[in-house]
Structure 1
Amino acid sequence: MQTNLADFIKGTPEGSEAERILGKCVHCGFCTATCPTYQLLGDELDGPRGRIYLIKQVVEGATPTAKTLSHLDRCLTCRNCESTCPSGVEYGKLLDVGRHVIEAQVGRSFKERMQRRLLAKLMTSPAMFGTAYRFGQQLRPLLPPSLKAKVLPAKPAGVRPTRQHARKVLMLEGCVQPAMQPNINNATLRVLDTLGIEAVSPPAAGCCGAVRYHLNEQDAALDDMRRNIDAWWPHLDQGAEAIVINASGCGVTVKEYGYYLRNDPAYAVKAARVSELACDIVELLAPMAATLAERVRRHPLECVAYHPPCTLQHGQRVRGRVEALLQALGLVVMLPADSHLCCGSAGTYSVLQPALSYRLRDNKLAALAQTQPQAIVSANIGCIGHLQSGTATPVMHWIELVDRMLAESASGSS
């Protein structure tokens, strides 16, 4: 697709990136068939091809409107279209450019600005979010249904291992996960401990940057990334072999630090190294599936349904590994129909676009229910919380299930 950049963006990094990505698009429309919002709304402008044309028009000098921005806002950034695209169009990166340029020209209402600023502040501060979430759990019976669905009942976190091991990895704790489901991190630590791996979480490391970046606070998000690199770098110098992430939404962002900071001379090389060492927890454990299987003798469940998060299957392109690992441990793992489609969580999407978000959640839960599972497992805290808000079937991180299987096998053999 040929693009003639307008003067305002010509010669800028954003303009060059938009021109590069647009040049790959051949207008085939394959992406439209797998776009969740197009399937719900049936509007070409609420699908990837339509949004690409909107962005192309703006970078060529057309004047955007609030309606233009609304079509981009309704995108989940699930990147399903990238998995489908035969031409390798990096739609997610183009969308970041489009949102940044169009919002700068159109602006937002005071209410929208305050809502987004509050989300960016609250969701990236574990202390603030944790306090608010615990308060919400205490008042949960009194909350209106819309808020009650966002607050899961408190669950025990379990113990954190304290043993030291020669093998060391870094682990990103996450922003909302420690408050919403603290057992996910502790279960991850326990499984790694069983395998003789120590996970270190430097206190200075914080938000991965995803929330702020996708809320268009891009400069602040890049500062988040630089802070994490600074926190991790001494440990990488000392031999930490990987940066392990158990929330796939964070994982896809950390894996792209090298891209985000490619134009920063002080951080470009380090960011590329961090991206190279970043891995989802399943990527670290998959080669050790046989070792785990030897230690699992008792199965707490027989059949589970697996919801692969978009950030894992489309963003990180990690497919099939969670299912294979759980199957190696003796479980029957079922994928729902249309497992490639988004559940509607998508970071802050469930707050900013609740109507679409909950339609997608209900569609996903209906598909999962068809597998008649004893439990639903996933790999991202956002998906887990979103799905659990609409079903009585237990929803958990798959690493929690592995941890439980190891613990019950150990107690059964003692």
Structure 2
Amino acid sequence: MQTKLSEAARKLPGADVAESVLRACVHCGFCNATCPTYQLLGDELDGPRGRIYLIKQMLEGGEPGAGTRTHLDRCLSCRSCETTCPSGVQYHKLLDIGRAAIELWAPRPLDETARRTLLRGALSRPALFKTLALAGAAVRPLLPETLSSKLPRRKRAVGLRPAARHARTVLMLEGCVQPGLSPNTNAAAARVLDRLGISVRPVSEAGCCGALDFHLDAQMAGLDRARSNIDAWWPAVEAGAEAIVQTASGCGAFVKEYGYMLRDDAAYAAKAARVSGLARDLVEVLRAEPLEKLSIRTGKRLAFHCPCTLQHAQKLGGAVEAVLGGLGFELTPVPDAHLCCGSAGTYSLSQPELSRRLRDDRLDALESGTPELIATANIGCQIHLDGAGRTPVRHWIEIVDEAIGA
């Protein structure tokens, strides 16, 4: 696609990346075939090709407005289009640049900005979010459905974490909402890793990965969180930690991009690249280990929902399914497994109607094989799908942990 960026656009961070991505697109439209919002709405501007045109017009000097923002806001950032694209267009990089540009040139109304600022403040602080989640559970019947469905349906016991005792050590990103909504997930991961001779070294100074800020119009704040995490992890990295493990695939996808996002930061570029190189989704660690040591005994039928951030961003589609199948779980078929569930970070709060439609379609597909449980690998997907009150949804590592020696 031929393009000529305006002088104002050329001054934007990442202008060279935007131009490269635009030139790579041959506007074939294959991306629309796997775009969840295009499938629902049938509007060219609610598919990747149309959004690329909107961003192109803006970067070439066209005046952006509320309509442009609406179509960009409706994008889930699921990156299914990237998996489909025969030209290797890195759409998500262009989308990030386009969203930053429109906030610079045509800022949101103050009420929208305030709501997004409140979301950032509440969701990215684990202690505050846990307090809010407990308070919300106490008054759940009084909350609107969009909020009450984001609280866990049931309380689950949180098992103990084993003390560090092995020569092999990994770090683990605790996350921001997961400790409040599913605190046993990371504990279960630590127990399973311990059985495989790997200890988890806690680094309490590491906080939110930065994705929440970055995708809620505060890209610089998101990058500052990335720098803070790098600083927190660096001593352990230098001491020989073999990986930085994420149990939430959304966080993992973002941490793996630290190197790209901080490539022009002289103070952090090399460290960020090393941290991204050490970042591993939990399944990447486990699939390389002798899993027969776990002594799994199970006959459970599971449907696995593969989060977009796992299959399209991290390119790990099928990895968890292979581990679960190898451990003896019966996996039911899931039609159209490439499609998004509608969680997408805060999308379910900002676009509740579209999000619910996507969720219900995903659940219909996941339940088509009559599983006992639905497993997933991302806290956002887990809470979003489970909030429908249908088949229970859990993180896959908790299900594995419970089946050890059962």
Determine if the TM-score, normalized by the shorter chain, exceeds 0.5. Answer: yes
Alignment of 1:9-408 (within 5 A): 9-10=9-10, 12-152=12-152, 153-288=154-289, 291-299=290-298, 301-408=299-406
Say whether the 8 Å CA contact 1:165–1:196 is kept in structure 2. yes
Counterpart-to-counterpart distance in 1, 2:238 and 2:347 = 37
User: Please, which moves more after superposition, 150-159 or 309-318?
Assistant: 150-159
| Structure 1: tracts of 5 or more residues without a match | 409-414
* In 2: Cα distance, 1:16 partner to 1:382 partner: 33
Contact 1:365 1:391 in 2 (8 A): no
Paired letter, 2:250: G
Contact 2:164 2:201 in 1 (8 A): no
CA distance in 2 between counterparts of 1:28 and 1:297 reads 47
- Kept in 2, the 8 Å contact 1:137–1:154? The answer is no
Cα distance in 2 for residues equivalent to 1:11 and 1:217: 18
- The question of whether the paired residues in 1 share the 8 Å contact of 2:306 and 2:376 is answered with yes
TM-aligned CA deviation for residue 144 of structure 1: 3.6
- Measured after TM superposition, the shift of residue 293 of structure 1 is 2.7
TM-score (norm 1): 0.96
- What SS does the aligned partner of 1:4 have? coil
Q: Any idea what the Cα deviations from partners look like across 1:132-173, whole Å, max 9, x if unmatched?
A: 001111222443433221111322111111242110001000
Cα RMSD of the aligned pairs, angstroms, is 1.1
Contact 1:309 1:378 in 2 (8 A): yes
Amino acid at match of 2:49: R
Contact residue 307 and residue 376 of structure 2 kept, 8 A: yes
Secondary structure of 1:23's counterpart equals helix
> Greater shift after overlay, 150-159 or 232-241?
150-159
Contact 2:175–2:251 (CA<8 Å) still a contact in 1?
yes
Identity over the aligned pairs, expressed in percent? 56
Aligned to 1:412: none
Per-residue CA deviations over 1:227-280 (Å, capped at 9, x if unaligned) read 000011100110100000000000000000000000100000110011111010
Instruction: Determine the C-alpha separation between the residues in 1 that align with 2:193 and 2:288.
Output: 13
Give the 3 Å change call, closer, same or farther, for CA 343–297 of structure 1 in structure 2.
closer
Contact 1:304 1:333 (8 Å CA) reproduced? yes
Show CA shifts across 1:90-135 (max 9, x none).
0001000000101222211121011100011111000110000011
How far did residue 297 of structure 1 move? 4.5
State the Cα deviation string for residues 156-212 of structure 1 (Å, max 9, x = none). 111111242110001000000000000101100100111111111211100101010
Structure 1 counterpart of 2:245, one-letter code: V
In structure 1, what residue type is equivalent to 2:108?
Answer: R
Q: Find out whether 1:7 has 2:12 as its counterpart.
A: no
Kept in 2, the 8 Å contact 1:361–1:386? The answer is: yes
Q: Deviations over 1:288-312 (max 9, x none)?
A: 2xx323432521x421000000000
SS in structure 1 at match of 2:9 = coil
CA–CA separation in structure 1 for the residues paired with 2:119 and 2:141? 24
